[in-house]
Amino acid sequence: MKTLWLIFSAFFRIGAFAFGGGYAMMPLLEKELVNNNGWVTKDELIDYFALSQITPGAIAINTANFIGYKIKGVIGSITATLGMVMPSLIIIMVIAKLLQQFSDMQIVQHAFAGVRVAVVVLIAQTLYFLIKTSIKGKLSSGLFFGAFLLISLWDINPVYIIILSAVIGYFRFPRQGGQTK
Amino acid sequence: MILALLYYEFFKIGLFTIGGGLAALPLLYNLAEKYPAWFDSTMVTNMIAISESTPGPIAINMATYAGFQTAGFSGGVIATIGFVTPSLIIVTLIARLLQQFRQSSLVERSFQGIRPAVTGLIAAAGLGVAQIALLNTELYTQTGQWLDLLKGKALLLCLFMVIITMRFKRHPIFYIAVAALAGIIFKM
């Protein structure tokens, strides 16, 4: 029981202070999971984090699940996830409720018109990074443009596109790592 | 019944959000198209800003917000639980086989295919957001004047923001706040 409470509170703190998502969370993860509680070594943390990027779902949640599972099996991973999502659930719903009350106000609408422009720029930033790291040759370029066109022009369900890209990747990328040019 | 549907739809989103929270974007826009009564694409775009400004993984924030928009408090909880369920299941399944999983050539090659494709999907979503934020398609279809297609103030703000984000490396919440202020001051 005590362990579960420790897991819950550690991941609650991580969830409450993890701004910026993804890699920005690493120092927090290290502090709570390696330094304070000694549940994983720094190397193990990095490994789990890397693994979390290829398993479905949010990276942070996957990391919480892996480490929670390592500490105390299924109940550990459930507790870790609950801890991590709790701050988000509370904060988001409070904000959402407030916005619902005030969304009709002109000033709020003006603010969001500006905010949506910021979102374009922020997405563009992330996209720039993603393109640099994931497109390295003809096959990956083909997959990039293919996916882009399939969804933009023909509105194909992204789920099918993802499955298709996994199948293509399986058959077309070489067996021993590295990438086809 | 809507809660069961919400759970199912966010389970699917959780299952196919691969490679980072932003991968949920194309799936959320797709959901907005499929269930216009739940939320529309403008709301999704607003949600992104809120999710980037609050702590926690962006995908979780989006799921909670979208669920709340659709069905209030219980919607927010159900959508979030739906989103994290695939992760829980898959991690439990592979935690035992961790070594084999990590060295699996099948997994690695599939993922090499998925990554660029997901980037393409995010690019398309980004273009959609740009259309919502920077263009005025309704006015254009009415008047036919191509100048009406452009939202002047939005485009100027966009240019300004591109410049400052390249120059300064601050947290997204800073830029969102600046943009919100600009929106109010210039009555965008």
> Average pLDDT of A123-133?
87
**Summary mean pLDDT of chain B:** 88
pLDDT, one tens digit per residue, over B156-167 is: 999 999 999 888
Tell me if A147 and B121 make a contact (CB, 8 A cut-off).
Answer: yes
Least Cα separation, residue B25 to chain A (angstroms): 10
Report A:118-157 residues touching B (Cβ under 8 A).
118-127, 130-131, 134-135, 140-141, 143-148, 151-152, 155, 157
Answer yes or no: is pLDDT of A164 > 90: yes
Tell me if A134 and B116 make a contact (CB, 8 A cut-off).
Answer: yes
Least Cα separation, residue A1 to chain B (angstroms): 20
Q: Chain B within 8 Å of A74 (Cβ-Cβ)?
A: yes
Q: How far apart are CA A81 and CA A12, in angstroms?
A: 9
> Average pLDDT of B26-36?
92
Instruction: Say what the pLDDT of residue A103 is.
Output: 82
Instruction: Say what the pLDDT of residue B149 is.
Output: 78
pLDDT, one tens digit per residue, over B115-140 is: 899 999 999 988 988 888 888 877 77
Answer yes or no: is pLDDT of A179 > 60: no
Provide the b/e sequence for A100-111 (b: ≥16 CB within 10 Å).
eeeeeeeebebb
Q: How far apart are CA B164 and CA B176, in angstroms?
A: 12
Percent of chain B with pLDDT over 70: 99
What is chain B's length? 188
**Summary mean pLDDT of chain A:** 88
Helices (H), chain B: 2-16, 24-34, 41-53, 58-95, 98-103, 105-134, 137-143, 152-167, 172-185
Least Cα separation, residue B91 to chain A (angstroms): 6
Tell me if B157 and A117 make a contact (CB, 8 A cut-off).
Answer: yes
Q: Which tokens hold the place of A149?
A: 């066109």
B162 CB neighbours in chain A (<8 A) are 121, 124
In 3D, which of A125, A113, A16 has the Cα closest to residue B54? A16
Answer yes or no: is pLDDT of A55 > 90: no
pLDDT, one tens digit per residue, over A133-161 is: 888 889 999 999 999 999 999 988 898 99
> Average pLDDT of B104-122?
88
pLDDT, one tens digit per residue, over B49-63 is: 888 888 888 899 999
> Average pLDDT of B177-188?
89
Instruction: Say what the pLDDT of residue A181 is.
Output: 41
Q: Which residue of B has its CA nearest to A136?
A: B116
Tell me if B171 and A113 make a contact (CB, 8 A cut-off).
Answer: no
Task: Identify which of A78, A89, A127 has the shortest CB distance to residue B122.
Answer: A127
Instruction: Say what the pLDDT of residue A49 is.
Output: 84
Tell me if B113 and A143 make a contact (CB, 8 A cut-off).
Answer: yes
B180 CB neighbours in chain A (<8 A) are 111-112, 114-115, 118
Going by pLDDT thresholds of 50, 70 and 90, the confidence category of residue B64 is: very high
Tell me if A66 and B95 make a contact (CB, 8 A cut-off).
Answer: yes
B157 CB neighbours in chain A (<8 A) are 114, 117
A132 CB neighbours in chain B (<8 A) are none
In 3D, which of A158, A55, A121 has the Cα closest to residue B52? A121
DSSP 8-class letter at A31: I
* Entry pTM: 0.83
Determine which of A69-73, A102-106, B78-82, B176-180 has the lowest per-residue pLDDT on average. A102-106
Tell me if A126 and B111 make a contact (CB, 8 A cut-off).
Answer: no
Going by pLDDT thresholds of 50, 70 and 90, the confidence category of residue A22 is: low
Q: Mutate one of A72, A93, A120 to test the B interface: name it (highest B CB count within 10 A).
A: A120
Percent of chain A with pLDDT over 70: 94
- Residue that wins the pLDDT comparison between B169 and B48: B48
A170 CB neighbours in chain B (<8 A) are 106, 109-110, 113
Q: Are B9 and B86 in contact (CB under 8 A)?
A: no
> Average pLDDT of B2-28?
92
Q: Which residue of B has its CA nearest to A126?
A: B22
Count the Cβ atoms, other than its own, within 10 Å of residue B8.
12
A77 CB neighbours in chain B (<8 A) are 88, 91-92
